[in-house]
Chains A and B, each alone.
Chain A
Amino acid sequence: MTRYIARRLLSVIPLLIAVSLIVFGMSKALPGDPVAIFLQQADIANPELVNAMRDKYGLNDPLPVQYWTWLSLMFQGDMGESIRRGERVSDLLFRGMRNTFSVATASVALVIVVGWTMGVLSAVVHNRAWPQAITRFLAQAPVLMISIPGFAVAVFMVLIFGISLGWLPTSGVSNPREGDDVIDLAKHLILPTIGLALASVGGNWRLARNTMIEVLREDYIRMAHAKGLPLWRVYFVHGLRTTLVPLLTSAGLLFGSLLTGSFILEYIFAWPGIGLLLVESTVNRDVPVVMGATILIASLYIVLNLAVDILYAIVDPRVRYA
């Protein structure tokens, strides 16, 4: 076990180095000299000044030196300053991650409350031979949820609840007139959360239903029935406990993937998370922010995948020898 974990941990290091090289290479491959662009915007066109600034920012050093400087500064938490916003990149990333974190948490909560409940209920209904219309609806509804793209759901909801009915705000995290109010934040969270989570609600609904149907066919469930236990006890104590294992894995994976931000949805809702930060910086060619956000998202993703792999190995010993 320890050897497996050590091997997996070591395998992550070359991956992180490769990612950092790609991001660094990308920043160098971008057309246009950032210093020249910056000075042009400030209406200063002076070749000597450009050269002085390039010296100051180390842009005249050989590439490996530049890469090393960038990497060592990053390990000290210094990712430079945003060209457009004049703020430290680490501050921007922190703020973006905080907003992405809140919508990701809300989405996972929605998946658990709605997806799991509906899934378990549809499995119970499937087992009780209810009218076919209901059983079929409960089996097909999640398929539809999975199929509609998240941003289409987002647009439909914005049009219905935001514009036609005017119940909910359609963009941003807060209403400036109301200040930092929890209820206000919750209102802003509703639409992005549903847009982000709907497909996963469908996925978990289907997973919960299929797992529970399988579980309810097991011998120990028949045994529980034979013992004369009340139905609710058989379903929700004996059946549910086994069903929860794959569901928990799926929720963990989902949370990880949501943390890396969905930039199309964050763009539609103007939700200032890590995804929107990345999109805006990309469009504005704000290179330090693009580099920082990319490194952060990719490293987060690699580490989360590693954690999942190790957890799997703990649960299922066969994985260790594969």
Chain B
Amino acid sequence: MHSALSPNKPAGQRLRRTATFLRDHPVLSASLIPILLLIIIALIAPLLPITDPNRANLSVRYLPPLSEAYILGTDRQGNDVVHAERNPDLFPSSVVERYEPPVRKHYVLGADSLGRDIVSRLIWGSRVSLLIGIFANVAVVLISVFFGLLAGYLGGRVDGVIMRLVDIGLAFPGLLLALLILTVLGPSVINMAVAVILSSVPLNIRFFRGQVLTVRNAKYVEAARLLGYNNLRIMFREVLPNVMPLIITVTALNATSFFIFTAGFSLIGMGLQPPDPDWGTIMSDGLRALYEQPAVILGPTILISILAICFNILGDEVQKILSPRESQL
């Protein structure tokens, strides 16, 4: 599996190898498409022709999906005044500058309780999930690999101290530790990232430590020791590269749970605070409007499901490539 990613090759050759790799693993490639699509859309959100996700227009409250409304003009702040009807006389007081004729505006997924465009909120909301999914993942992997290496390779007292701390972290099941941290720090995006990182680090440290333990007594590590290399060099030059491939699987699995965590925290009101959009706040809005407009909650739920399935498949496929024997069944 190193062939496609190995450095020191001309760029063209590397690209061709990557293409071959992707063609040989169609399931893996298919699961990558929605993930990459989401990343691209989230990155270029400011360039997309979508409305301000926080712009409320009460006249289009709970507009059903695939319907359209009309921009009658702009108000004093320069914001669009949208109305479900075409008639410009409906909003005479707030409209400062009228459009003649009114501009048609499409609501592909409808509008929420304040008449905000759901498509726009979903796209802007994906940035929060993405930020935490990437930022927290990088942090978790760096921290866990470092402490996993220390504990697994050095053993002894260092291992004892690290693993006792890990045990304490693992004494809180699931999201409990994250919830406690958020309670103390208060709800916000950064705090949510901190909570997610701190609560998933213990499990990851234990995992990487276990992997280091399996490599630790290998012949090549012993050889490096006999050559008189110091511990730091052995840890980072001999042990680490052999644990590296697992990081892909772990990252994919982490990403799934981080998406679910962040959405869940925002849903229960401990994450992002309204009116800022993320998938959890949209779900929380939709949960209150199940009867009026069930479409509101459907969008984020479907997106999260698709991503979770893709990340799971990605993790499974990478696992299969790494250890073909274990996945025979």
Contact = CB atoms under 8 A, between A and B. Distances in A.
Interface of A: 14-15, 18-19, 22-23, 26, 29-31, 143-144, 146-149, 151-152, 155-156, 158-159, 162-164, 170, 209-210, 213, 257, 260, 262-264, 267-268, 278-279, 282-283, 285, 290, 294, 297-298, 301-302
B267 A264 contact: yes
B268 A264 contact: yes
Closest 8 CB pairs of A and B: A147-B312, A264-B264, A147-B309, A152-B305, A260-B173, A155-B301, A301-B173, A18-B168
Contacts of B263: 151
Contacts of A297: 172-173, 176
B171 A15 contact: yes
Contacts of B164: 14
Q: Is the interface of B mostly helix, strand, loop or mixed?
A: helix
A268 B308 contact: no
B325 to A, nearest CB: 14
B264 to A, nearest CB: 4
B171 A149 contact: no
Contacts of B167: 15
A301 B168 contact: no
Interface stretch (B149-157, B199-207, B283-291): B283-291
Contacts of A262: 174
A159 B267 contact: no
A282 B171 contact: no
Interface residues of B, number: 40
A283 B269 contact: yes
B172 A170 contact: no
Contacts of B186: 31
B294 interface: yes
B85 interface: no
Contact of B171 (A19, A143, A285): A19
A298 B173 contact: yes
A261 B18 CA distance: 44
A23 B180 CA distance: 8
Contacts of B304: 149, 152
A290 B297 contact: no
Nearest to A266: B268
B39 interface: no
Given A26-B183, A290-B180, A301-B173, 16 more contacts: A15-B171, A26-B180, A143-B316, A149-B308, A151-B301, A152-B308, A158-B290, A163-B291, A164-B294, A262-B174, A263-B175, A263-B264, A264-B268, A279-B179, A282-B182, A298-B171
10 contacts: A26-B180, A149-B260, A149-B305, A162-B290, A262-B174, A264-B260, A267-B267, A279-B179, A290-B180, A297-B172
Contacts of B297: 155, 159
B267 A147 contact: no
Task: Identify which of A18, A213, A285 gathers the most chain B CB atoms within 10 Å of its CB.
Answer: A18
B221 interface: no
A18 B174 contact: no
B162 to A, nearest CB: 14
Contacts of A257: 173-174
Contact of B312 (A146, A156, A260, A285): A146
A267 B176 CA distance: 14
Contacts of A263: 175, 179, 264, 268
Contacts of A29: 184
Nearest to B302: A152
B329 A283 contact: no
Nearest to B260: A149
